Amino acid sequence: MSDILSRRGFLGATTGLAAAAAFRVPAGPPEAPAVHIRPPAKPVIVASGNGLRGVERAGQLIATGSDTLDAIIEGVKIQELDPTDMSVGYGGLPNEDGVIQLDASCMHGPTRRAGAVGALENIKTPSVVAKYVLLYTDHILLVGEGAKRFALSYGFQEEDLMTEQTRQRWLSWRANRSGRDDWLDVSGEHEMVARPHGTININAVNARGEISSVTTTSGLAWKIPGRVGDSPIVGAGQYCDNDVGAAGSTGRGEANIKACGAFLTVENMRRGMSPTDAALETLRRVVATTEGRLLNERGRPTFGLNFYALNKNGEFGAASMYPSSFSAFHGETAAVHDTAHLFEGR
């Protein structure tokens, strides 16, 4: 009996060893499938329609060796420092209290780092402050008074961001808020736009396949003080993955935040979609999750939202709810293009 047991034990042991050998897990992590992506021969930059000067500037800088993030921040600074541009930075449109609060975020693909600021007051270039958050802190998002103190500690100058043009626009809005409350209707020489908003997003890839993205804005005009839209939210206002590509947005921030639109667009590209198709697919998700109160009688959104995207090999595109435009630098020239769009009309 003991011999039989021994033989059984031996057979069981050898069978177990054979099974273990057949299903042995290799030491260390499994190797990922090799993916060969050829970066563009020259810089490719894509941006919102108001970013024509920005993509041209960024393209010139990248061509001479500048880092992609440094270059695109120099691009958006053109708008941030332009007092005639009421959508971002200096001269941006204020909140309902007449205070300009700025938002920005950025990502640097090679280092996989991000930085952002929200509700920043009295600093002209929030995109640069966001880059400093990326460079010098273990945080990603600083807001309000803390963001301003951080900027001042690095030598940024506190300045009045209101221009006479934006002040008059705010006064005109304030005087005409409603004929049904205690405020009188006051006619003004400035055309009234109920809720203007504007943002600039720029994304870039260089010949080494290094990707970065940045978005900056003064947000929705006449907003409730402290309101922050999608621009400083990493994954919404902009997102980049150095293995895949980058995307950013302009338009109704509240709708984009709920869809994590920039992140979703990059993930769509990861699944093999072109930048344009990836952006269109994200817009379809936004429409599907939009509240009924924000849809018209045809079931279409009553707001605008645009996405701009590029991938690691230099393909680029953009899509919007309704017909719009975007800027791109490809090769050695900058130009404005029409976006793909879901719906006709406005």
CB 222 within 8 A of CB 176: no
Q: Judge whether 6 lies within some domain.
A: no
Q: Judge whether 32 lies within some domain.
A: no
Whether residue 9 is predicted with pLDDT greater than 80 in this model: the reply is: no
CATH number of the domain at 182, please: 3.60.20.30
* Residues of the domain holding 71: 44-341
Q: Which of 199, 215, 282, 290 is catalytic?
A: 199
Highest mean pLDDT pick, 9-23, 57-71, 195-209: 57-71
Q: Judge whether 30 lies within some domain.
A: no
User: Is pLDDT larger for residue 37 or for residue 124?
Assistant: 124
Q: Judge whether 136 lies within some domain.
A: yes
Q: Judge whether 22 lies within some domain.
A: no
pLDDT digits (tens, 9 = 90+) for 187-199: 555 444 445 557 9
pLDDT band of 140, cuts 50, 70, 90:
very high
pLDDT of residue 32: 52
User: Is pLDDT larger for residue 51 or for residue 177?
Assistant: 51
pLDDT digits (tens, 9 = 90+) for 165-224: 999 999 988 887 765 555 555 555 544 444 555 799 999 999 999 999 999 999 999 999
Diameter over CA atoms, the chain = 110
Number of domains forming the structure of the chain:
1
Q: Judge whether 14 lies within some domain.
A: no
Whether 250 sits among the annotated catalytic residues: the reply is no
pLDDT digits (tens, 9 = 90+) for 269-287: 999 999 999 999 999 999 9
Q: Judge whether 10 lies within some domain.
A: no
